[in-house]
Amino acid sequence: METKKVVVTGTGAVTPLGLNTEEYWDALVAGKSGIEVIQSFDVTLYPTTIAGELKGFDVTNYVDRKIARRLDPFIHYAFAAAQEALDMGGVSKESTTEYGPEKCGMIIGSGIGGMTTFYQQSLDLKEGGYRKISPFFIPAMITNMAGGVIAIDYNFQGPNFSVSTACATGSHALHIALKLIRNGEADMVLAGGSEAAVCPLGLSGFIAEKALSTRNDEPQRASRPFDVDRDGFVMGEGCGLLLLETEESARKRGATILAEIAGAGMSCDAYHMTAPRADGSGAGRAMSNALNDAGIKPEDVDYVNTHGTSTPLGDVGETKALKKVFGEHAYKLKVSSTKSMTGHLLGASGGIEAIACVKTVQNDIVHPTINLDNPDPECDLDFVPLKSVNHTVNYAISNSFGFGGHNACVVIKKYQA
Please say whether the beta carbons of 386 and 372 come within 8 A: yes
**HSE toward the beta carbon, residue 383, CA cutoff 13 A:** 32
Please say whether the beta carbons of 171 and 345 come within 8 A: no
Taking the C-alpha atoms of residue 344 and residue 100, their distance in angstroms, rounded to an integer, is 36
Q: Which of 344, 357, 367, 406 is catalytic?
A: 344
Annotated catalytic, 409? no
Find, among 64, 113, 61, the residue nearest to 87 by Cα: 61
Cα torsion 358, 364, 369, 374: sign: positive
Q: Which of 104, 167, 239, 379 is catalytic?
A: 167
3-state helix, strand, coil in the chain (%, to 5): 40, 20, 40
Distance (Å) of CA 341 to CA 17, 93, 134, 173? 8, 34, 36, 23
Please say whether the beta carbons of 269 and 282 come within 8 A: yes
Find, among 335, 260, 262, 250, the residue nearest to 293 by Cα: 262
Q: Which of 76, 172, 175, 307 is catalytic?
A: 307
Annotated catalytic, 175? no
243: exposed, middle or buried (C-beta count within 10 Å: 0-12, 13-18, 19+)? Answer: buried
Taking the C-alpha atoms of residue 88 and residue 85, their distance in angstroms, rounded to an integer, is 5
**HSE toward the beta carbon, residue 107, CA cutoff 13 A:** 30
Annotated catalytic, 329? no
Please say whether the beta carbons of 38 and 203 come within 8 A: yes
Question: b/e for 71-97, b at 16 or more Cβ within 10 A?
Answer: bbbbbbbbbbbbbbbbebbebeeeebe
At position 389, the amino acid (one-letter code) is V
Task: Locate the DSSP E strands across 131-176.
Answer: none
Show Cβ contacts of residue 59 under 8 Å, excluding neighbours closer than 6 positions: 65, 68, 73, 76, 79, 80
Taking the C-alpha atoms of residue 172 and residue 160, their distance in angstroms, rounded to an integer, is 14
Catalytically annotated residues: 167, 307, 344
